Chains A and B, each alone.
Chain A
Amino acid sequence: MSNTLKVGSYTFKSRLLVGTGKYKNLDETGRAIVASGADVVTMAVRRTNLGQHPSEPNLLDVISSSKYTLLPNTAGCHTADDAVRTCRLARELLDGHRLVKLEVISKSRTLYPDVVETLSAAQTLVKEGFEVMVYTSDDPLIAIELEKIGCVAVMPLGAPIGSGLGLQNPYNIQEILDQLSVPVIVDAGVGTASDATVAMELGCDGVLMNTAIAEAQDPIKMAEAMRLAITSGRLAFEAGRMPRKRYADASSPEAGLIK
């Protein structure tokens, strides 16, 4: 069925994947996820604060792994080694779960993917049996390489993480879509509903976002807007848009006009 998203051994109903960062509290996080209709929810892995609030609610108590597919990320990792260690810890934390979001980012203010380290980490993780959804630049050659390594989804950025600028290079995303057989999911850069729709209209298999929802004035309402945006973008892609023309083409027939 065209309305499901198949990633590796998983099948999802929703093509919207959402993050859990930057919300005011876990209650808001939970409500935004429900409103988004997402099946896949990302999370980060961090050192516990020893001795501080051991009874504080845990993200895993709010996001039930029976309802959602958790997607642990390697956000903040700057080397392949750290990303691989983080994935191994995530697999242990989530009782053997193998689906991960690999991201190795540069220390620059762009947080651009470090593709050299990303390629190296992807190789190790695929060998260790992980199903790797990989965050990368919108470079089609790197995307092809990541597919060859065995990543189950390639996730080029639309614009820098948290920038909300929308798709900056739709031609590169289109080229990646043309070249790859695994799902292509735009990850990062979406700012509002129309940005998500543009990605879906291009033929992307999904969109992963966090800040666009979490930093909206009303995150719950924006989560719903994104759910609708993804659905309408996908429907428009499947419907096939009309060709663009440079001049007008009247909608009402010329014949039968009164004289």
Chain B
Amino acid sequence: MKLTVNGKVESVDALTLRDYLAHTELVDKRIAVEFNGEIVPKSIFSETLLQDGDVVEIVHAIGGG
């Protein structure tokens, strides 16, 4: 299955959003996730099923003015 994550197409072998984030070691980090244009609260990462073509944005805080 192919996902677009932060603008890059990736081949992914994961059932849920939580599985994917666990694989990237980001699951316990201070991140926020937008899934197909909608914010996904952390509490439902494990209920969010992935499908081919899903678009995911994963963000964190960095320095800025």
Contacts and interface: CB of A to CB of B under 8 A. Distances in A.
B partners with A: yes
Interface of A: 19-23, 26, 29, 42-48, 50-51, 54, 58-61, 70, 72-73, 75, 85, 88-94, 161-162, 188, 208-211
B59 interface: yes
6 pairs of A and B residues whose beta carbons are closest in the complex: A44-B64, A19-B65, A210-B65, A20-B63, A93-B32, A92-B32
Given A92-B39, A92-B41, A47 B58 contact: yes
B61 A60 contact: yes
B46 interface: no
B25 to A, nearest CB: 4
Contacts of A188: 65
Contact of B58 (A20, A22, A48, A73): A48
Contact of A73 (B6, B59, B60, B64): B64
B29 A22 contact: no
Interface of B: 5-8, 24-26, 29-34, 37, 39, 41, 57-65
Given A54-B25, A54-B26, A89-B39, A44 B32 contact: no
Q: Is the interface of A mostly helix, strand, loop or mixed?
A: mixed
A133 B29 CA distance: 27
Nearest to B40: A92
Contacts, number: 104
Nearest to A213: B65
Contacts of B65: 19-22, 42, 44, 73, 75, 161-162, 188, 208-211
A47 B61 contact: no
Contacts of A85: 34, 37
B63 to A, nearest CB: 4
Contacts of B7: 47
Nearest to B57: A47
A3 to B, nearest CB: 25
B30 A44 contact: no
A75 B63 CA distance: 11
A37 to B, nearest CB: 18
B63 A93 contact: no
B36 to A, nearest CB: 12
Contact of B6 (A20, A47, A60, A61): A47
9 contacts: A26-B63, A45-B32, A45-B60, A46-B59, A54-B24, A54-B26, A89-B34, A91-B39, A92-B39
